[in-house]
Structure 1
Amino acid sequence: MAHELTSTQVQTGSEKNTDNGRYTNIDPMRPNASMLSILKRYFFEKSDRSQPQPGVIPVEQMTAAELLAGDDDRLYRLGHSSLLLRLDGEIWLTDPVLSKRAAPVQWAGPKRFHELPIQAQDLPAISGVLISHNHYDHLDKTSIRQLHDKVARFLVPEGVAATLIEWGVAAEKIQEFRWWESAQIGSLRFTSTPAQHFSGRGLFDRDATLWMSWVIETPTQKIFFSGDSGYFSGFKTIGAAFGPFDLALMETGAYDPAWPGVHMTPEETWQAYRDLNANRLFPIHNSTFDLALHAWFDPLERLATLAESQGQSLVTPRIGAPLALAGVADSQTEAWWRPLMQ
């Protein structure tokens, strides 16, 4: 179903965040360790469990018929930060990376741990795609080329449209956003909100395009999608402006003390979730690609242990399993990774 795409600025200030043509963060970025020390740790300190055994991560297969059946709102995790949301009868995707590797080429780089629950060619018509930033594990050329003919619109950070057009996406399908801009699309409202991160796909384009998180509002739900972010003051600002959220889809994974400013530890993710004033926490950005030094299950286990110490539980459906959004406040999902931690 096609809708007119309009954009309205909802807050002023931090959307004008360029310095000499480069975008900057709200909070000062905590510095990274030197590249030499990071490489040394990759060689000598990387966990021998940074990847699971092949085929062990449970995946539930999906079909287009299943996605279109019924009239309830549902969410499916495809892997990493790629999520399929069925909202008010329409299909939306976040950061679709459906290739075997999150890399510039498909013969080298981080390889997918698990099969996809559905192939790109089997997806039904898609009302829209939300992009958080242009890193290879969030914006994938092959996936966009496979999908764009069945996608009605792409909502992307400022500066990313040129890349999509180069890949064959029609310019009229794309709308760029600065922070704090929103689009009302039928019954759904999407607002681009800040994140603490960076952008770039090559040696010379760091911070040349914007990065962001997203607020998704349906007639019955408020959902937060973090994209990638270090912990920063913006979570409290977003929570005050839009909370309480029914569900927070929050990055936790690919963190390390060597790069503290751009990815959150599980403990920081928990604090960000509290800052947002969200009712339930769904951890993403883990269990699909080997992008750091920690064990593959560490993000989920550390965060689940912390939640349990607070008398709460995470929302952790298996890859491809449907999550009913209407009952998300009371949903119980299994800690599927625990039997696989050996």
Structure 2
Amino acid sequence: MKSAITVLLIIAATLILGGCVVLNLARFGAAPDAQQQKAYSGSANYNAGKQAFHNQVTTPVLKEGVSTWSVMWGNLTSSADNLAPQGAIPVNKVDFKSLPREENLIVRLGHSGFYLQLNGQRILVDPVFSDYASPFSFMVKAFKGTTIFTVDDLPEIDVLLISHDHYDHLDYNTAVALKNKVKKVFVPLGIGAHFSHWDYTPEQLHEADWYDSLELDNDVQIHLVPARHYSGRSLTRNQTLWGGFVITSPQSRLLLGGDSGYGPHFKAIGERFGGFDLVALDTGQYDPRWPYIHITASESKQAAIDVNARALLPIHIGRFALARHPWKEPFEEIQALSENAPYQLHTPLIGQPINLASPPASKPWWQSID
């Protein structure tokens, strides 16, 4: 009996030690230290007692009555199909370095990532150049054909924007490779700790609360705006803030909304900035088990109307399957819903430049893929 207990204790200790070793890998990043947490206590979006950020409205990660274990079991036993395409996604292998710097354009990198040129400023948003969106390479694999770019393909970047620290938005391999190519990093409160852990300099890092701004050259401004979501790269949630970005110049006003459930913040953002030429909104990875942290196609349409968008580009779709809906479903639904909407729908290929002054009509490229 004693020997059996000893064996069990050894196994338990080994598992605990192994877990600690894994969670200390660089890819998990680092939590804000005590001094940083004290500084965050001045934010209206931070609960100092819980040492955690919070949304503007009550936002459970999961629906009432749903647990993490039930989600895991449901995913394991689910009969859902068509979660990923059988064939390769069509892409456009753009040469970023040959794009005229004076041209105002946006290039979709897949999922929620973008390369943007505005008034001569080069901006990179939520890039994931790895072929997976998780701490481990065998999990959450990218759709076939969508991992076509590397950091080496990019010119020097004026500012890197990260909406929140989930793996499908903040990729360790990409962040490390970008370190010597990025002048500035503009992120929500707390995310600077990850970049400091990955040897970025204090001069590069600029943390922001909701509605804080960063001034760039040539009258380009970047504003961090609210989103309805959560954060965390390991076992602890909400030690870092999350959000979207409003990017403005004298010619253009853009909203890149990040991950978000539907809420009153969309209307508030629209009223604050007076509408947008183009908005990119979370339109996929929704699930009835987590209805508060992502939005469906119909909610995406309403959010685009709320912010007074002239054009909508749906994001969080077309590269990774994080929910149990068919991969085409968000594209098909938002296309149907947008036929008589007060905005123009854009669904460009990964790597297809969109000129902000004269965006081309989009084609439903997903229809020809199984």
TM-score, normalised to structure 2, is: 0.84
Residue matched to 2:232: 200
Q: 1:70 to 1:216 in 2, by over 3 A?
A: closer
RMSD of equivalent CA atoms: 1.6
Residue matched to 1:29: 59
Moved more, 222-231 or 30-39: 30-39
Contact 2:146/2:319 (8 A) holds in 1:
no
Contact 2:84/2:327 (8 A) holds in 1:
yes
- Structure 1 residues not aligned, in runs of 5+: 1-13
Residue matched to 1:18: 46
Residue matched to 2:83: 50
Q: CA deviation at 1:90?
A: 2.3
1:68-98 CA distance string (max 9 Å, x none): x262201111111110001112211101111
Q: Which has the larger radius of gyration?
A: 2
Q: CA deviation at 1:105?
A: 2.1
Partner-residue secondary structure (3-state), 1:84: strand
State the one-letter code of the partner of 2:192: A
State the one-letter code of the partner of 1:332: A
1:131 is aligned to 2:159: no
Residue matched to 2:177: 146
Residue matched to 2:223: 191
Q: 1:122 to 1:257 in 2, by over 3 A?
A: same
Indicate which of 334, 337, 342 corresponds to 2:363: 334
- Structure 2 residues not aligned, in runs of 5+: 1-41
1:261-305 CA distance string (max 9 Å, x none): 111111111111111111110001111011110011111111111
Contact 2:310/2:343 (8 A) holds in 1:
no
- Distance in 2 (CA, whole Å) between partners of 1:177 and 1:241 is 18
- Distance in 2 (CA, whole Å) between partners of 1:72 and 1:120 is 21
Contact 2:129/2:149 (8 A) holds in 1:
no
- Distance in 1 (CA, whole Å) between partners of 2:355 and 2:107 is 9
Partner-residue secondary structure (3-state), 2:292: coil
- Distance in 1 (CA, whole Å) between partners of 2:79 and 2:56 is 32
- How much identity, in percent, do the aligned residues show? 37
- Distance in 1 (CA, whole Å) between partners of 2:356 and 2:160 is 19
Number of equivalenced pairs = 322
Contact 1:63/1:118 (8 A) holds in 2:
no
Q: CA deviation at 1:53?
A: 1.4
Q: CA deviation at 1:312?
A: 5.7
Moved more, 87-96 or 234-243: 87-96
Q: CA deviation at 1:184?
A: 1.4
Indicate which of 294, 297, 300 corresponds to 2:331: 300
- Distance in 2 (CA, whole Å) between partners of 1:214 and 1:130 is 8
TM-score, normalised to structure 1, is: 0.90
